[in-house]
A and B are shown apart, each in its own frame.
Chain A
Amino acid sequence: AQSVTQPDIHITVSEGASLELRCNYSYGATPYLFWYVQSPGQGLQLLLKYFSGDTLVQGIKGFEAEFKRSQSSFNLRKPSVHWSDAAEYFCAVGDRGSSNTGKLIFGQGTTLQVKP
């Protein structure tokens, strides 16, 4: 069955430090890959996505992610974290099947806390 695993439920980093959030997926082929961020009481905002091509993708707010097919991973990184980055982060996969269904499978999320 398709699944997404975010091993870290909660991460705390100091402001200005680098960040890496891990995401592993289980899928029959290379899916569409996404990272979303959710602030308290809000909906989800897309940070970046991977459909094909360059395996290092750039997103908004200074985030980037690298797709590694051999490791079935799509880890999110940011070189220097800002206090406003504190939020919950979700990795998700979408189906490349012929139906093009919009269904996304989400990981359990990683809550990021930023220390001043």
Chain B
Amino acid sequence: KAGVTQTPRYLIKTRGQQVTLSCSPISGHRSVSWYQQTPGQGLQFLFEYFSETQRNKGNFPGRFSGRQFSNSRSEMNVSTLELGDSALYLCASSLSGASDTQYFGPGTRLTVL
């Protein structure tokens, strides 16, 4: 069974631009969560989608948004990029949520210049 895949793996953007990251969950998984990892703040929950609906949201500004498609693939978008958005963005999938094991992808490393 293929694992969680994230594209692209690396991305360089400049301040003010926007970016879209993609996550393909393990086949059959309906829950997709996104996390931001930085050296200073550690791993922080961004949001979770389940069956195309946002089920939970972390404490991030509205510039961070996401969506989930009918095939459970998910995208997250960051508009008006700031230097502080430089981070490793990780996506995780599970069958239905907290009661199942979450499997993480390799992440997308975003650098904002």
B64 to chain A, nearest CB (A): 15
List residues of B (46-64) whose CB comes within 8 Å of A's CBs.
48, 50, 55-56, 58
State the interface size on chain A (CB cutoff 8 A): 27
CB pair A102–B42 under 8 Å, yes or no, is: no
Interface of B is mostly: strand
Residue of B nearest to A95 (CB): B98
Interface window among A10-18, A20-28, A38-46, A73-81 = A38-46
Question: Given A43-B106, A102-B48, A103-B48, are A108 and B99 also a contact pair (CB < 8 Å)?
Answer: no
CB pair A103–B58 under 8 Å, yes or no, is: yes
Which chain B residues lie closer than 8 Å to A49 at the CB level? 101
Which chain A residues lie closer than 8 Å to B90 at the CB level? 43-44
Which chain A residues lie closer than 8 Å to B92 at the CB level? 44, 102, 104
Chain B positions 4 through 44: 1 when the CB is less than 8 Å from some CB of chain A, otherwise 0: 10000000000000000000000000011101000000111
- Give the 9 A-B residue pairs with the shortest CB-CB distance, closest first: A100-B97, A94-B98, A106-B43, A43-B104, A44-B104, A101-B56, A102-B97, A102-B31, A43-B106
